Amino acid sequence: METEKLDITGEHAIKRGTTRRLSLTFLKADDTPVNLTGVSAIAKISKNPGTVALTQFTPNLLNPAQGILELVLGASQSQQLKAGYYFWDLFLTLQNGDVVCPLQGNLEIMERTV
């Protein structure tokens, strides 16, 4: 699994104090689902790549056999982050013990206007 870039910025930025749910479907090159049964996931948010995690998304395997994973950043978690740019990455531990990083990118936190 190669690392793809997925930025959560601009019109997709997260407002402080709100919940964000990202539903991800992992597909093979032939467009069939990657079976995520038995896979564990962690998706952390840090100021820069390779630095200490400030918070993390909560992963939920919604339909592992169909490759569907949801990442949730709760309202209390997004409230902890100051407005600005961050880095996020997703690591999966496969059934055979291999650890892969299929997604990473920039993440923007915006102030709430209300």
State residue 107's pLDDT score.
Answer: 97
Domains, the chain: 4-110 (2.60.40.10)
What is the rounded CA–CA span in Å between residue 66 and residue 36? 8
Write out the H or E segment, with its range, that includes residue 54.
Answer: strand 53-63
What is the rounded CA–CA span in Å between residue 15 and residue 28? 32
Tokens at 90, concatenated: 């997703």
State residue 67's pLDDT score.
Answer: 96
Residuewise pLDDT in 10s, the chain (114 residues):
788 999 999 999 999 999 999 999 999 999 999 999 999 999 999 999 999 999 999 999 999 999 999 999 999 999 999 999 999 999 999 999 999 999 999 999 999 887
State residue 2's pLDDT score.
Answer: 83
Q: Are 87 and 5 in contact (CB under 8 A)?
A: no
What is the rounded CA–CA span in Å between residue 54 and residue 25? 26
